[in-house]
Amino acid sequence: MTKTLTRALTVLLLVGLAGCYTVPETGRSAFVLPLGDEVADGELAFTEIKSKEKIATDPIVNKRVQRVGQRIAAAVGADLPTARWEFVVFDEPDTINAFALPGGKVGVYSGLLDLVASDDELAIVMGHEIAHVTARHGAERMSEGVAAAMLGVAVDVYAKDSRNHDLVLAAYGIGASGAMLKFSRNNESEADYIGIRYAAKAGYDPRAAITFWQKMEKESKGSKVPAFLSTHPSNERRISDLQTAMPQALPLYEAAKANHK
């Protein structure tokens, strides 16, 4: 092993030991490096989105999103201590989506509001998106990218000393790609789990996650890619995992219902 490779791997190990974050609700130890000000970046990105997207003016849909959002924000509580919550509806009837950014910035597209049948289903989606933020999935993916780049340099140094330079690099590329895809699917599954807990703690029925993803399955109209090549779990896998998690989420819902009659 060359000195350059040894140094690269040593730095990578030290970086890994330094970048640990405990994900709320699951307790998982995540690899997150201090790469910048997530809250400031999130607020800046949200301001830019609001300047480009059409913001809905319908008081009924705005009140609905504010109502659900504020209840989930209260349930999130200390899991996002830096939050300056803001909930905005974007007038895009053809867009069935929502998102959340660091700092408690949440966007909901009107197309999603046309699909969800109840506040319970809306809470499931908003809880899922906010869970990505409290779990710091964006920062984790960036950190993984930095680590992958460092490892790539180390592998390249090793490969140059090998007779199979191209083969080694190709194997590394395939392996890294597969790892990142799995990493993203795991993020989605974790956000599903955390999201139904937030919704349940806010007094919304977590079983609405099942009906929502059944609808999304119909919306997909059979357009699928193999699960091992997807950045998201299949809808069938999602539904199965959510059903497995219900015994843990339902007691939270039952405990919270009395406070939200």
Edge-first strand listing for the sheet containing 98-101: 86-90, 105-109, 98-101
Domain boundaries, the chain: 3-260
Identify the three-state secondary structure at position 88: strand
- What is the rounded distance in angstroms from the CA atom of residue 26 to the CA atom of residue 96? 28
| Burial tier of 206 (Cβ tally within 10 Å: 0-12, 13-18, 19+) | buried
**What is the separation of C-alpha 62 from the centre of its chain, rounded to a whole number of angstroms?**
24
pLDDT for res 241: 95
| Beta pairing, strands 105-109 & 98-101 | antiparallel
CA nearest to 82, candidates 32, 26, 136, 126: 136
**CB 199: neighbour CB atoms within 10 A?**
34
pLDDT for res 219: 78
Whether residue 71 contacts residue 124, with contact meaning beta carbons closer than 8 Å, is answered with: no
Collect all residues with Cβ–Cβ distance below 8 Å to 73 and sequence separation of at least 6.
83, 85, 104, 130
- Side chain identity at 93, as an amino acid letter? P
pLDDT for res 145: 73
CA nearest to 151, candidates 184, 183, 173: 173
**What is the separation of C-alpha 155 from the centre of its chain, rounded to a whole number of angstroms?**
30
108: phi then psi, degrees, rounded to nearest 5? -130, 130
pLDDT for res 240: 95
pLDDT for res 242: 96
Residue in 25, 38, 129, 140 annotated catalytic: 129
State yes or no: is 25 an active-site residue: no
Digitized pLDDT (tens) for each residue of the chain, 261 residues in all: 455 555 555 555 555 555 688 999 999 999 888 877 889 999 999 999 999 999 999 999 999 999 999 999 999 999 999 899 999 999 999 999 999 999 999 999 999 999 999 999 999 999 999 999 999 998 888 777 776 666 555 555 555 555 554 544 454 454 555 655 666 889 999 999 999 999 999 999 999 999 999 988 887 765 555 555 567 888 889 999 999 999 999 999 999 988 876
Q: What pLDDT, in 10s, does the model give residues 100-153?
A: 999 999 999 999 999 999 999 999 999 999 999 999 998 888 777 776 666 555
| Beta pairing, strands 86-90 & 20-22 | unpaired
Whether residue 204 contacts residue 259, with contact meaning beta carbons closer than 8 Å, is answered with: no
- Side chain identity at 224, as an amino acid letter? K
